[in-house]
Amino acid sequence: MKQIIAANWKMHKTAVETTEYCRAIRQMEADFEGVEVLICPPFTALSAAAIALEASSIKLGAQNMHWESQGARTGEVSANMLLEFGVEYVIIGHSERRHLMGEDDSQVRRKLEAALDNGLKPVLCVGETEAEREQGITKKVIEKQLSGALEDQDPHKLSGLVLAYEPVWAIGTGKAASVEDAQEAAVLIRSYLKDKLGAKLAESTRILYGGSVKAENIGSFTVLPSVHGALVGGASLEVESFSSLIQAARKAVIT
């Protein structure tokens, strides 16, 4: 399975900064062979990214979407609006949306379904907080998030699905999960997929790790048999650090 290295820029970069970044990174794309590289800028920079990445193999993702196609939803953006810019992936249920914007499992589910119905590939994020880990309920939390979004879905519709395990305590803290924790969570996610949605989907679904990923530690995650890439925040904001991270991920898989 081809690994995905995805840049989640969160609320960073103007359209002008996006153009500059995308023009620079596409100069290096010959070195990204074998890896699916994805950039998820803010909505306001999607147009600039789409133009700067035209005819490039670097793909475009969005950080969120609403489940309705249009209507009185002030401040929201729909799937068809994203498709207009050639967006292929959309991050759904990121912990910052769950915890800072109060997004619940039922909203995450509706977004996931709307993404799939519109031909967008969801990157569904799950992960426990530090308090939940300390209480020993990591497994329960991840399973609840998975069930909320995926239970009783038609596996045939989920073929583009990507999962991301992002423990909240590892995001932006410089304290990445241990390799053992990442592997354990990825195995848990895969066995959930197998039990509830079938072996075929479980085998074909890519699971990413996210949380303080950088060039120095990416290789230890991507060599794991259950992990097929990473969702990267801070280390994706500079062209140099993101491209060295991609190189490190490639090297780890090749060697």
Cβ neighbours around 117 below 10 Å, total: 12
| Interface with ligand 13P (CB under 6 A), residue from 3, 5, 8, 228 | 8
Task: Give DSSP secondary structure letters for 36-88.
Answer: EEEEE--GGGHHHHHHHTTT-S-EEEES--BSSSSSS-TT--BHHHHHTTT--
Kindly state whether residue 34 participates in binding ligand 13P, applying the rule CB under 6 A.
Answer: no
Kindly state whether residue 231 participates in binding ligand 13P, applying the rule CB under 6 A.
Answer: yes
Residue nearest to ligand 13P as judged by C-beta position: 233
- Residue (41 or 155) nearer to ligand 13P, CB: 41
CB of 166 to ligand 13P, least distance (A): 5
| Interface with ligand 13P (CB under 6 A), residue from 211, 215, 243, 247 | 211
The stretch among 15-23, 128-136, 204-212, 244-252 that binds ligand 13P (CB under 6 A) is 204-212
166 included as an active-site residue: yes
- Residue (143 or 166) nearer to ligand 13P, CB: 166
The closest alpha carbon to 124, from 157, 152, 85, 95, belongs to 95
94 included as an active-site residue: yes
Take residue 115 and report the two structure tokens written for it.
Answer: 């993404």
Single-letter residue type at 101: M
Among 36, 66, 166, 228, the one annotated catalytic: 166
Kindly state whether residue 38 participates in binding ligand 13P, applying the rule CB under 6 A.
Answer: no
Among 94, 96, 103, 128, the one annotated catalytic: 94
Single-letter residue type at 171: I
| Interface with ligand 13P (CB under 6 A), residue from 103, 233, 245, 250 | 233
Take residue 224 and report the two structure tokens written for it.
Answer: 């794991």
Q: To which H or E segment does residue 112 belong?
A: helix 105-117
The 10 Å CB-count burial string (b at 16+, else e) for 207-222 is bbbbbbbbbebbbbbb
* Residue 200, helix vs strand vs coil: helix
- Residue (161 or 197) nearer to ligand 13P, CB: 161
Cβ neighbours around 64 below 10 Å, total: 20
Kindly state whether residue 210 participates in binding ligand 13P, applying the rule CB under 6 A.
Answer: yes
| Interface with ligand 13P (CB under 6 A), residue from 38, 166, 192, 222 | 166
Residues that bind ligand 13P (CB under 6 A): 8, 94, 166, 171-172, 210-213, 231-235
Residues marked active site are found at: 94, 166
